[in-house]
Structure 1
């Protein structure tokens, strides 16, 4: 299988991309319908793509888009043509995790090759910012899964969220990831719909303002990271991971993100980065 579909909430596409050294892409929330997917967070869900071939990201994405009247967040992609973008990338570095040292050693050839290909990389310290993701997603998943199970539960499958959690507790081998999220949702006090809606709006605006402020300040279109950040999962903009150094297993990957709606330009940059990474690997060899 060269490509797989998934649902992005808080890193459920980006983190597998990092850990498995493959390409992942989460489109702008609303460009791909959520109808028919198992709901994890109705506030933040966004179907996306995992693939071993970066060219497939755009191909699969364009086959998935379209307005869906059944999805209240759905909207149409304005243009299927990518606009030329500035080749200036803001790379947010977490110094406490040793990311600057990693850039200067294992990613040195890759960065040099980027420069040869006309890219300008600006390094900044990763801003410290927190969101109310756990509160929002815990409320979402409990309500959304409850509704889902009421419809699809059976005599052999749980019909309630509490039943689902208990089922997973009894089969720990079947859920290497995700159990903590279910337990958090079960323990989290539920909040009213009006309060939840307000909290979601505040967090989305906060995330988008953070992203846009960095891009505006440095006159750039893309921002990158060496580890997962939840800015785009919450803000709703497009993000992608791609392997850039193959010295380690899994390969070292970078996460790239952009403004809401700038999906195709981001995918073009991912394609260029992948070609640069291959050239850097060839130079090292």
Structure 2
């Protein structure tokens, strides 16, 4: 597909011994990361987290600038493959776009390059960001195959930013960029044992990112520490004239790393969403330990009794169907060159014509529903109601009524076995849809492990409170007492 990966041979066994430990933050050379990709992504455990690497001359050119004083000079970053880069195809994991070399950088990628980052390659994802149909397996795409979780290679990496989460956990780059509509950064961060941050919608440009929802889409950083995620966010954030959602971004851009080193929890009021913690004993035990850690560090713990209105999720789906049809038609119609499809109807026809490769494991029922989602009045009502329930009457009201600085819950349950036949097996854990639908910031920080499977802790707050969420998350990161063993790169049962 387009630009091939570098294939380095004979290094697997040696490099497996050189893998970084958990939450390692040291930046390394592109050559080291490429060798590691060859050892454990292309071969060995075959994580299939990286879908393509950049041309050698592009990497070499970026390296020549690595000695500059730019904030990300020499930092190696991977980009989710629904975000355009000028030197690699952008496929969304679909064979319909396998040759989609638009020849342009998304503004967020241009910002990263300007900040000195070396864009090493693209990461695999749940095809079409897991918005195509029923029975999907997170991390599977027609182009990239099935991404595997470094902590248990027979278990799911969650999605849709599966490759970004797995790649960071496996030490295939210093950090990665993911995208989220509802859970697609935070769930992969949680189950892969890394930090993932979904910023306020409108803080980061979405131009030249393959869309799902104009209301909820955003890109965000995935890294091994809150500080690294904040450093990456510094380079990504800012207004973009082509994306009206970012009109106020520059007013809210700060140095997101400021205060993280000294951040503490003294006097911080933590709102605990107990009913969103699920029922799995191991997760509940970790959650209690995290709360005890924060209390010991000086936080005030406030238990909150909250149950979401079912109408919130129902209306969210109406919004996503309508906005996806509009957004994907506009994106495909505006692509340079001569792609084989120009609208959603063409995508559906392409998949049907390539059913053996595209439809064996993953249907396109959602595509077909979106094609019929043309009722503008129903869409407007659903959008207003879902955002009200998640925002004004959700996060905003909970924080105001209980006078808390942040809301917390476990991000997700432990990773489930990969099941291409039946699809994903999500657990009823977490409250991330509140932040996703409202468009508010949501940070997942590793909380510990259940039976060697990572579980994250979510921190959420109101619109544009990104810096606050990052500071509180960093303070928890420092107070955390649970051990974080490194990935095993083996099946869970071994």
Q: Which TM-score applies when normalising by structure 1? A: 0.85
Question: Among 196, 204, 224, which residue is 2:408 paired with?
Answer: 224
Contact 1:3 1:50 in 2 (8 A): yes
> What is the aligned residue count?
278
CA distance, structure 2, for counterparts of residue 20 and residue 265 of structure 1: 24
Aligned to 2:254: 80
Match of 2:460 among 250, 253, 257: 257
1:150 CA drift (Å)? 2.0
Gaps of 5+ in 1: none
183, 192, 195: which one aligns with 2:365:
183
Instruction: Report if the CA contact (8 A) 1:237-1:261 is conserved.
Output: yes
> Which structure has greater helix proportion?
1
Structure 2 segments unaligned to the other structure (5+ residues): 1-172, 411-428, 485-494
CA contact (8 A) 2:444 2:458 kept: yes
Q: Which residue of 1 aligns with 2:285?
A: 105
The corresponding residue for 1:27 is 199
The alignment's C-alpha RMSD in Å is: 2.9
Match of 1:50 in 2: 222
Give the Cα–Cα distance (whole angstroms) in 1 for the partners of residues 463 and 374 of structure 2. 28
Give, in whole Å, the separation in 2 of the partners of 1:234 and 1:80.
24
SS in 2 for 1:122: strand
Counterpart-to-counterpart distance in 2, 1:255 and 1:176: 34
2:323 equivalent among 125, 140, 146: 140
**Which residue of the other structure, out of 332, 346, 351, is the alignment partner of 1:163?**
346
Is contact 2:277–2:283 with CA below 8 Å preserved after alignment?
no
* 1:234 counterpart = 2:418: no
Distance in 1 between residues matched to 2:305 and 2:355, nearest whole Å = 42
Q: CA deviation at 1:192?
A: 3.6
- 1:78 Cα shift? 3.4
CA distance 1:187–1:198, change in 2 (3 Å)? closer
8 A Cα contact 2:194 2:446, kept in partner: yes
In 1, the alpha carbon distance for the partners of 2:209 and 2:187 equals 19
- Aligned partner (choices 129, 138, 143) of residue 309 of structure 2: 129
Pair 1:269 & 2:449 matched: no
Q: 1:269 to 1:164 in 2, by over 3 A?
A: same
- The question of whether the paired residues in 2 share the 8 Å contact of 1:142 and 1:186 is answered with no
User: Contact 1:2 / 1:51 at 8 angstroms: preserved in 2?
Assistant: yes
Deviations 1:94-131 (A, max 9, x none): 379316x4466344443322221111222334413232
Deviation at residue 154 of structure 1 after TM alignment: 6.5
Contact 1:22 1:51 in 2 (8 A): yes
**1:201 equivalent among 379, 384, 389:** 384
The structure-2 alpha-carbon separation of the partners of 1:261 and 1:175, relative to structure 1 and needing over 3 Å to count, comes to farther
The alignment partner of 1:261 has SS state of coil
CA contact (8 A) 2:344 2:367 kept: no
Change in CA separation of 1:27 and 1:272 when aligned onto 2, cut-off 3 Å? same
Q: In structure 1, how many angstroms separate the alpha carbons of the residues matched to 2:453 and 2:359?
A: 22
Shift of 1:265: 0.9
